[in-house]
Chains A and B, each alone.
Chain A
Amino acid sequence: MSEFSTTRRVAMAGLAGVVALAALPGRALAFTTAEAEALIDKVVRDINRIISSGKSEAAMIRDFEKIFVDYADVARIALLVLGPDGRAASASQKSAFTRAFQGYVGRKYGKRFREFIGGRVEVKSARPVKSFYEVRTITTIKGYAPFEVVFVVSARNGRFIDMKIEGISLVKSERSEIGAMLDRRRGDLNKLIADLKTIG
């Protein structure tokens, strides 16, 4: 715990300067590195609570979906994942897709949480990149090499827009997966929305 707060303090001190520099030209960011880090701190606390709760898989999936809805920019992630096809969608299709997608993510990734039981996630550092912040976390599970999960937090609204597990982006991989699903349904978005409710 003390190592954790030291790392954080050092990171914050170092980054305060970077933020000041980054904020100088052009637009001022509404959100700071410290805030981005605090947000992911909360996410991580919730994740740690889930993986140490000993709850059933179904309950973990529900809890994970809640984290996703509470802290992620779900509507924008859904739009990104839908790709160019998303632009042609109507407002009601977009919101229906967002809801279906959020359940799909909860199920698909919530299931993986079983593998994290007994592990711990810690926020290590944060840095501004363009109009986003990258918040680095390290997950340690006994007997395995620690691995890195990076959350990409938007400076505009303080929600995370992506998470990258050891370099694998959720947005990028789901964009490929959802794209394939849509192709298989000959671009029928309504069919995809209906099917997505049970996939994952």
Chain B
Amino acid sequence: MFVVNSIGVRIVVTASALVLTACAQAPVPEAVFDPNEASNRKMFAFNQKLDRALLAPASSAYGEGLPPGVRRGVSNFSDNVDLPGTVVNKILQGEFEDAMHNTVRFAFNSTFGLLGLFDVATGIGLEERDTDFGETLHRWGIAEGRYVVLPVFGPSTDRDAAGIVVDFVLNPLSYVVPSPESNVLPVANVVSRLGDRYEFGGTIDAVLHEGEDPYASARLFYLDARRYDLGVEVAEEDLYDLYEEAYE
């Protein structure tokens, strides 16, 4: 815990120094930059096996065993414990209004929403404004890097993989909540993931297990969806050239 704390503090300090100086634009990424494709494919195959053996059965047991309202509650709770982390990231990005928005959302859902089990904030215009440290790095002008497949987490990039680690350390709740209660945070995330796995099972199966080259599909989906979320207008030109081609 001590080690994690000091790393966390150091990152926050370095980060706030950076946010004052850096307003750089992240370089526009290549369409697909996957130099380690061979090892990524191996990891992808491992994740597929893991999904078939553990995640899919566990999620359907979870999904079928519990009423939708309970699953919703778990998912809400997990989103809520992530909120303080998004506040930190919004501040690091200089998005102070969003940081305030998420703070008030957290306050509402933690109290009237019974520790975040219910999402009462969205109904009054305090919808989720999600972000993560990967986005913060993007805002600071850090390049996307290589495409990587992480164990369990799946598709990612160098930048987003670093973001996942930092987000774990960055969430203030993990310091405020004393252990062993703090273990509840990662557990809530894992269980909430099972819920998502159940709800979007069809889509996940389609990407992960169906089709003839699910690796290529997952890579394309991850990169395009992520760039869309970050507002990176990449390869749009190419896509329009492609459309044009069809009419020649």
Residues of A participating in the B interface, judged by any CB pair closer than 8 Å = 73, 76-77, 79-80, 108, 111-112, 114-115, 129-132, 143, 145, 152, 154, 156, 161-162, 166-169, 171-173, 176-177, 180-181, 184
What residues on A are CB-neighbors of B72 within 8 Å?
Answer: 143
B244–A168 touching, CB < 8 Å? no
A-B contact pairs, 9 of them (CB 8 A): A130-B240, A130-B244, A166-B225, A168-B225, A172-B239, A176-B216, A176-B217, A176-B220, A180-B212
B contact patch SS: helix
What residues on A are CB-neighbors of B217 within 8 Å?
Answer: 173, 176-177
Total inter-chain residue pairs, C-beta < 8 Å: 80
Contact of B224 among A131, A154, A169 (CB under 8 A): A169
Closest chain A residue, CB of each to CB of B122: A145
| CA gap between A156 and B244 in the complex, in Å | 11
A168–B203 touching, CB < 8 Å? no
Q: Considering the complex of A and B, which 5 residue pairs feature the smallest CB-CB distances, nearest first?
A: A167-B228, A180-B213, A76-B246, A168-B224, A181-B212
* B221 → A minimal CB distance (Å): 6
Interface set, chain B 55-95, CB cutoff 8 A to A? 72
* B203 → A minimal CB distance (Å): 7
| CA gap between A145 and B229 in the complex, in Å | 13
Q: A80-B242, A80-B246, A161-B246 are in contact. Are A167 and B212 (CB under 8 A)?
A: no
What residues on B are CB-neighbors of A79 within 8 Å?
Answer: 246
| CA gap between A111 and B224 in the complex, in Å | 22
Contact of A177 among B127, B216, B243, B246 (CB under 8 A): B216
Since A168-B221, A177-B212, A184-B213 are in contact, a sample of 6 more A-B pairs with Cβ atoms closer than 8 Å, ordered by chain A residue number, is: A108-B206, A114-B202, A115-B203, A129-B240, A161-B243, A181-B213
* B34 → A minimal CB distance (Å): 12
